[in-house]
Chains A and B, each alone.
Chain A
Amino acid sequence: GAGVSQTPSNKVTEKGKYVELRCDPISGHTALYWYRQSLGQGPEFLIYFQGTGAADDSGLPNDRFFAVRPEGSVSTLKIQRTERGDSAVYLCASSLMGGIDTQYFGPGTRLTVL
């Protein structure tokens, strides 16, 4: 069956622009996670959805970052007024029920802000 997919795979944008990153989780998975991985670092947690609601958004670095999951499936991570420091690989993962269920990772979106 299909795994977690993310689009686009690469995104290059200019400082100050708005970007949207999309994640399609595994069908039927209720939990969805966004992570960010900067060069040379391990991934860091951004936000966790259980169904349509954000159960924990404590990892979002500031109010330029926002994520939605309106129908409890596809999620979009939105970044306003992008800065060069936002350049990273943005990873999405889903799991069946959340908690200690195995998380399945997407391939990531590499965002470069010039």
Chain B
Amino acid sequence: KNEVEQSPQNLTAQEGEFITINCSYSVGISALHWLQQHPGGGIVSLFMLSSGKKKHGRLIATINIQEKHSSLHITASHPRDSAVYICAAGGADGLTFGKGTHLIIQP
């Protein structure tokens, strides 16, 4: 069974700061997902990575397959980025989720 660990669990930062959220997993995977969950529970898929790096707007996700580690970065953070960010490690039949990082960006 894959173990997925995220850090930090909680993060409060000021608007404009560069944010990094880390994820490590224990078993080799086919893909690593980063998800965003807003209050009310809806989940949005941000990235799916199997290697290297992806960028979308102010969000950047990287993965190191050998080290079984991924990071999500947010540049020029904004209060609307406040949400829970969840890392999920994917096999062919489903995802194993981390517990999430609760991010608050203060104006």
Using a CB–CB cutoff of 8 Å, the interface residues on chain A facing chain B are: 33, 35, 37, 40-45, 48, 55-56, 59, 89, 91, 93, 98-100, 102-105, 107-108, 110
Given contacts A99-B30, A105-B35, A43 and B94 within 8 Å (CB-CB): no
B interface, over-half SS: strand
Q: Find the residue from B43, B48, B99 having the highest chain A CB count within 10 A.
A: B43
Name the segment of B13-21, B55-63, B68-76, B85-93 touching the other chain.
Answer: B85-93
Q: Which residues of A contact B97 (CB under 8 A)?
A: 35, 42-45
* A43 and B86 contacting across the interface, CB-CB below 8 Å: yes
* 4 shortest interchain CB distances as A-B pairs: A42-B97, A105-B43, A56-B93, A45-B94
Q: Which residues of B contact A41 (CB under 8 A)?
A: 99
The total number of A-B Cβ pairs within 8 Å is 63
Q: Which residue of B lies closest to A99 (CB)?
A: B92
Taking CB atoms and an 8 Å cut-off, the chain B residues in 72-107 that contact chain A are 86, 88, 90, 92-100
- Given A103-B45, A104-B45, A105-B35, 13 further pairs, Cβ under 8 A: A33-B94, A41-B99, A42-B97, A42-B99, A43-B43, A45-B94, A45-B95, A45-B96, A59-B94, A100-B31, A105-B43, A107-B40, A108-B41
Q: Which residue of B lies closest to A109 (CB)?
A: B41
Q: Which residue of B lies closest to A56 (CB)?
A: B93
24 contacts between A and B (CB under 8 A): A35-B95, A35-B97, A42-B100, A43-B88, A43-B97, A44-B97, A45-B95, A45-B96, A45-B97, A48-B93, A48-B94, A56-B94, A89-B41, A91-B43, A93-B43, A100-B31, A100-B48, A103-B33, A105-B42, A107-B41, A107-B42, A108-B42, A108-B43, A110-B41
* B94 and A102 contacting across the interface, CB-CB below 8 Å: no
The reply on B50 being an interface residue by CB < 8 A is: yes
Report how far A91 CA is from B98 CA in the complex, Å. Answer: 15
* A98 and B44 contacting across the interface, CB-CB below 8 Å: no
B3 smallest CB distance to A (angstroms): 12
